[in-house]
Amino acid sequence: MSTMPAAGEVVPVSYREGMPAQEQERAILERIRAGDRAAAETLVERTYATVFASLARLCGGDRDLAADLTQETYRKAWQALPGFDGRARFSTWLYRIAYNAFLNHARRPLRAVPFEGRDGPLSADPGQSAEEALESSEVSLRLGRAVLALPDDLRFSVTARFWAGQSVADIARQEGVSTVAIRKRLRRAFTTLEAALEGVVP
């Protein structure tokens, strides 16, 4: 999703508009390797909105929690960066860390329990009309809950694909399974989600 530089962002010289996102990432990481702080800031700026947005969805719209977990994610990511092997894209790898941070949080009470979506509407797009927002919040709420109730492997695949905007190939690489398996998981997830949404969507 927001893998391209946002408007007004200072774009470091080593990557250009139109360069594939992955190469841009690589260029930035190369510069971080060389000790360039500005590159590190760029990396954060480019990625944090997506990380936050995906965590906010995982947290059922709890923005404070999502912000905490975003910080947690970056703390871990900085420490883990020496181990990043470039197998998957950086942003996919980062989402795995964010997702783990969320899982860790959700697991904190002694027992692993199935995830239930929280109450409370997901924050809607400020550009929507009140009516649209109302309708979409009802649907998003239901959809969000259904996603959270998916089995873990399906949930990771779906959220990585749609909430964090990662490609199927990158998710497969990150998870060490075939793209076919990811596609199958997505299809299975769709079936479950469709069932969960029946009656809500006109």
Candidates 56, 69, 148, 160: give the one binding other proteins (CB under 8 A). Answer: 56
Distance CA 67, CA 55 (A): 8
Q: Shortest approach of other proteins to residue 89 CB, angstroms?
A: 9
In degrees and rounded to multiples of 5, residue 87 shows phi and psi of -65, -55
In this complex, which beta carbon is closest to other proteins, that of residue 18 or of residue 83?
A: 83
User: Count of residues for the chain?
Assistant: 202
What is the size of the binding site for other proteins (CB under 8 A)?
84
- The reply to whether 9 sits near other proteins by the rule CB under 8 A is no
In this complex, which beta carbon is closest to other proteins, that of residue 13 or of residue 110?
A: 110
Is the Cα torsion angle 107, 108, 113, 116 positive or negative in sign?
negative
In this complex, which beta carbon is closest to other proteins, that of residue 16 or of residue 45?
A: 45
Query: What end-to-end distance do the CA atoms of the chain give, in Å?
Result: 27
- Which residues make Cβ contacts (< 8 Å) with residue 56, sequence separation at least 6? 62, 63, 66, 122, 123
In this complex, which beta carbon is closest to other proteins, that of residue 18 or of residue 126?
A: 126
Are the C-beta atoms of residues 74 and 93 closer than 8 Å to each other? no
Per-residue contact string for residues 137-176; x = within reach of other proteins by CB under 8 A:
--xx--xx--x---xxx----x--xxx---------x-xx
In the region spanning residues 76 to 115, those forming contacts with other proteins, defined by CB under 8 A, are: 76-87, 93, 96-97, 100, 104, 107, 110-112
- The reply to whether 130 sits near other proteins by the rule CB under 8 A is no
In this complex, which beta carbon is closest to other proteins, that of residue 16 or of residue 86?
A: 86
- Which residues make Cβ contacts (< 8 Å) with residue 152, sequence separation at least 6? 103
